[in-house]
Structure 1
Amino acid sequence: MISPAARDALALWLDHQRSLRGAADNTVSAYRGDVAEFLAFLTEHKGAPQGLGALAVVTTSDMRAWMAHMRGQDVGARSLARKLSAVKSFYRWLSEGEGFEPTAVLATRSPKFQRKLPRPLSVDAARQVIDTAELQSLTPWIALRDQAVITLLYGCGLRISEALSLRGADAPLGTSLRITGKGGKERIVPVLPAAVAAVEAYARSCPLPIEADGPLFLGARGGALAPRAIQGTMARVRAQLGLPASATPHAMRHSFATHLLNAGGDLRSIQELLGHASLSTTQAYTGVDTARLMEVYARAHPRA
Structure 2
Amino acid sequence: MTSNEPQPEPRQRAAARWPGLGRYGVWSVALRSEDPDRSGERAEAAAELEELGFGTVWLGGSSAVHHAEPLLTATSTLAVGTSIQSIWQHEADAAAAAYAGLEKTHPGRFLLGLGVSHAKLAAQYRRPYSALVTYLDALDAAGVPAGRRVLAALGPRTLELSRERAAGAIPYLVTAEHTAQAREILGAGPLLAPELKVVLETDPDRARALARAYLAMYLELPNYTNTFLRLGFTEADLAGGGSDRLVDAVFAWGDEDRIRERIRAFEAAGADHLALQVVDGGDRESLPREGWRRLAALLG
Task: Using structure 2 for the length normalisation, give the TM-score.
Answer: 0.24
Task: Using structure 1 for the length normalisation, give the TM-score.
Answer: 0.24
Structure of higher RCO (CA pairs closer than 8 Å, 6+ residues apart): 2
- Higher strand fraction (1 or 2): 2
- Higher helix fraction (1 or 2): 1
Structure with bigger gyration radius: 1
